[in-house]
């Protein structure tokens, strides 16, 4: 399937997160170029970016391979997110725009409605959109970019159990937005810290030590994951 050259990095990252490429497997420029319908130049650039992000490593005699993070590295990512999400919320309380508030409030309304109906399929994507918008509202592109990378890597390394009480979870989202709207940075930080810590407890490693090489989730004929190309 042919995709725009500038979207190759997103497509490869999404396929790594989705399990299309097994941890430790080689990523050859020729095969990737053929898969995504592009030349080898954007593939080479994408692999450099993904190596900087920690999804890819370069090994002697093997070239680019999918990284194999340790349990400690995975745990560190959750801890980093628990530190940075509250910081982003605190900054959002001081720097958000009315446009940010409008989107955040709309997402909370949708999330609360879906939670009451038990529509769990939509809640994860809505939650991701909520936290992405909250990070953007921080007014710090560097922080927003770091949080986006953390979310991608955490989604790759962890399976997330659905909240036992999604209504309560979305009430927490609402409390975060209320604090941000009031410009109460300390309250936004505190509520987000509680929410993020609660969410972290629902994460389960996809590749625990002692489990051996992870089974391939999808084979190489799986269609290209295009979901991330919207962003």
Nearest-angstrom CA–CA distance, 33 and 1: 10
Q: What is the pLDDT of residue 91?
A: 98
Q: What is the pLDDT of residue 219?
A: 36
Q: What is the pLDDT of residue 216?
A: 35
Q: Please report, to the nearest 10 degrees, the dihedral formed by the alpha carbons of residues 4, 142, 180, 167 taken in order.
A: 50
* List of the chain residues with pLDDT < 70: 1, 209-231
Q: List, in sequence order, every residue forming a beta bridge with 57; answer none if it has no partner.
A: 65
Nearest-angstrom CA–CA distance, 31 and 24: 16
Q: What is the pLDDT of residue 169?
A: 93
Q: What is the pLDDT of residue 5?
A: 75
Q: What is the pLDDT of residue 3?
A: 80
Q: What is the pLDDT of residue 222?
A: 38
């Amino acid at each position: 399937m042919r995709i725009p050259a500038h979207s190759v990095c997103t497509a490869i990252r999404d396929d790594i997160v989705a399990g299309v490429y097994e941890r430790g497997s080689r990523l050859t420029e020729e095969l990737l170029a053929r898969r995504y319908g592009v030349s080898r130049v954007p593939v080479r650039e994408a692999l450099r970016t993904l190596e900087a992000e920690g999804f890819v490593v370069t090994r002697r005699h093997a070239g680019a391979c999918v990284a194999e993070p340790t349990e400690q590295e995975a745990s560190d990512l959750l801890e980093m997110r628990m530190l940075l999400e509250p910081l982003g919320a605190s900054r959002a309380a001081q720097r958000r725009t009315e446009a940010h508030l409008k989107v955040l409030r709309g997402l909370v309304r949708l999330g609360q409605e879906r939670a009451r109906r038990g529509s769990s399929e939509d809640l994860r994507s809505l939650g991701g959109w909520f936290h992405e918008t909250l990070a953007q509202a921080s007014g710090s592109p560097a922080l927003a970019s770091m949080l986006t990378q953390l979310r991608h890597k955490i989604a790759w390394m962890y399976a997330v159990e659905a909240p036992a009480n999604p209504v309560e979870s979305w009430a927490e989202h609402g409390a975060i937005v209320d604090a941000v709207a009031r410009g109460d940075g300390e309250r936004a930080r505190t509520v987000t810290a509680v929410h993020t810590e609660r969410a972290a407890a629902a994460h389960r490693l996809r590749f625990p030590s002692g489990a051996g090489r992870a089974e391939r989730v999808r084979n190489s004929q799986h269609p290209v994951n295009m979901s991330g190309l919207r962003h």
